[in-house]
Amino acid sequence: MNPKKNKLWIEMKNLVRKHYQKINFERLSDEKFVENNDELLIIGEEIISILKKNIKQTKIFFADICGAPGNYSKLVFQHFKANGIGISLPPEKGGVEFEMEKYTKYKIFYRDILEKEYDLDIPKKLNLGIASCVSYEIKNSNAYQLNLKLILTSLLILLNNLEKNGSLVINLTIKNINFAFNIVYILSKLFKKTSIWKSSKVWPDKNTFYFFGFNFENNQKYINKIKELLLILDNNNFMKNIYFRRLIMNNSNFKIIDNMMNKLYKVKIDYFKKYN
């Protein structure tokens, strides 16, 4: 039971090693962070098409965490009858601004979700939770740690406010493959239907992928594991922790996730093969 023995994973790793210098991590312009709306709209359209196939409600209430400038939220309004909220880092703390002036059924909250005990201020449970947090600490060697903190914090906020049978889409990362397997496993215990997906059109060279969960079932045992993981991330030695070094599932669950992961590996392989 070792994800690193998967043939496609090995092929992907070899290609990444060979073409590493081709990956572009730069998101700075004039010392300010910028988001690429064109790219976000393409990936957003792809995400929405998956949501539309699975969400049957005619009217939805959603939250979009780390949502600025608001491409995914705009697409939700275009494709669903919706009310929603967007939460994102205040511009004075380095966050990008929302561009959602025209959307009257959307409430904006500029908040740093890493501030202690942040929770949503909403009148009812969510039908849909979206999170796509990315840290702006690109040059910082702790960027991975910060990204994971953002991902797990946004995840817990959404799960805490999601209605039974609600839906979730969140960005995850395959940077550490054991962690990726473990978090997908934990999330698969919280939703009746789950899938993972990586766009071949936008950021095919990056470690980002998306997890989709439908029909949420609150299961405290697994929510507690996410809380435990978040605490582990306070320690700079987090990579030595079991969640980053071993798998916490049995062999049959490993096989299911290993199979799901193949399609992510293929996206990266196909992208880097162009350079061979």
Q: Cβ closer to ligand SAM: 185 or 210? A: 210
CB nearer to ligand SAM: give 98 or 243: 98
Closer residue to ligand SAM, CB minimum distance, 135 or 188: 135
Give the shortest CB-6-to-ligand SAM separation in angstroms. 28
Q: How far is CA 26 from the centre of its chain?
A: 19
* Identity of the residue, 44 or 129, whose beta carbon is nearer to ligand SAM in the bound complex: 44
Q: What is the dihedral of CA 224, 5, 192, 266, to 10 degrees?
A: 120
Task: Kindly state the smallest distance separating residue 191's Cβ from ligand SAM, in Å.
Answer: 21
What's the N-to-C CA distance of the chain in angstroms?
A: 30
List the beta bridge partners of residue 214.
Answer: 193
| Helix then strand then coil, % of the chain, to nearest 5 | 45, 20, 35
Nearer Cβ to ligand SAM (56/115): 115
| Cα dihedral: 34, 39, 43, 46 (round 10) | 150
Judged by the rule CB under 6 A, the positions of this chain that interact with ligand SAM are: 35, 40, 44, 66-72, 88-89, 95-96, 112-114, 132-136, 150
Among residues 151 and 247, whose Cβ is nearest to ligand SAM? Answer: 151
> Which residue type sits at 226?
I
> Of 166, 152, 157, which is closest to residue 216 (Cα–Cα)?
166
Supply the minimum distance, in Å, between the C-beta of residue 9 and ligand SAM: 26
CB of 273 to ligand SAM, least distance (A): 27
CA-CA distances (angstroms) from residue 184 to 189, 238, 243, 256? 9, 18, 12, 11
- Which residues face 197 on adjacent strands? 210
CA pair distance 215, 199, nearest whole angstrom:
23
Q: In sequence order, which ranges of 203-241 are alpha helices (DSSP H)?
A: 220-232
**Number of Cβ within a 10 Å radius of residue 252:** 7
The least distance separating ligand SAM from the CB of residue 124, rounded to whole angstroms, comes to 22
Would you call the peptide bond into 3 cis, given omega within 30 degrees of 0 as the criterion?
no
CB of 64 to ligand SAM, least distance (A): 7
Q: Which is nearer to ligand SAM, 1 or 138 (CB)?
A: 138
CB of 5 to ligand SAM, least distance (A): 33
